[in-house]
Amino acid sequence: MKRVYIYKMFERFWHWSQASLIIFLALTGFEVHGTIEIFGFDQAVRFHRFSSYALLILITFSIFWHFTTGEWKQYIPSTKKLKSQLHYYISGIFKGEKHPTHKSELSKLNPLQKLVYLGFKVVLIPVVVISGILYMNYKTIDQNDIIVISEIPLNTIAVLHTLGAFLLISFLVVHVYMTTTGTTPTSNIKAMITGYEEIEHETDHKIDNQKEK
């Protein structure tokens, strides 16, 4: 095993900030829907709106960071070892089998994670963000003091936004569980805090793969 600097400072900041904002948006969103009561309706609406703006700003910076640093390449999907990765998560992990892929600074995600995170970034987040923007600006007043209403039915926007929110929460729950599947139950979380992770030496990993073949 060797200690490798995997997650950069902004990456860790973006990860924890995004998670915190999504959780807070979920709480305030549930209160707006009348499911729970914590802050009061008016305050929940205000917090939800401000948090959504903060998330939009964070997403903008994260997109800029991913493309300027080349980190977007981490999410390029690949079918190589995808079947082995699925087998590992379904049964191999419970039998003590070795992880089929090797994590490194240049390849942080396994084939399944690449597909899931790519879908999260290019499908799920855009659905929630766009529907949220349409929701907030559904009924606006233009420069002539005329009320302008979106042509898209409000019910459709609400259903899409709520569905996206539940999918985000489901993703978060699965994500938290998957963090426990590292070398130790807390190793992945520690890595996302410190940036460093204990990973298997690449040469040892190649030797193990050759033995399996």
Q: Which residue has the tokens 């981490």?
A: 74
Let me know: does 62 contact 13? Beta carbons within 8 Å: no
Buried b (16+ CB within 10 A) or exposed e, 52-76: bebbeeebeebeebbeeeeeeebbe
Check if CATH label 1.20.1370.20 holds for domain 2-206.
Answer: no
What confidence tens digit (pLDDT) does each residue in 125-139 have?
999 999 998 888 776
Span of 55-64, 126-135, 199-208 with lowest mean pLDDT: 199-208
Q: What is the largest CA-CA distance in the chain?
A: 74
User: pTM for the whole thing?
Assistant: 0.83
What is the reported pLDDT for 94? 87
Q: What is the pLDDT of residue 211?
A: 46
Tell me the pLDDT of the chain averaged across its residues. Answer: 86
pLDDT value of position 202: 59
| CA–CA–CA angle 85, 88, 89 (5° rounding) | 90
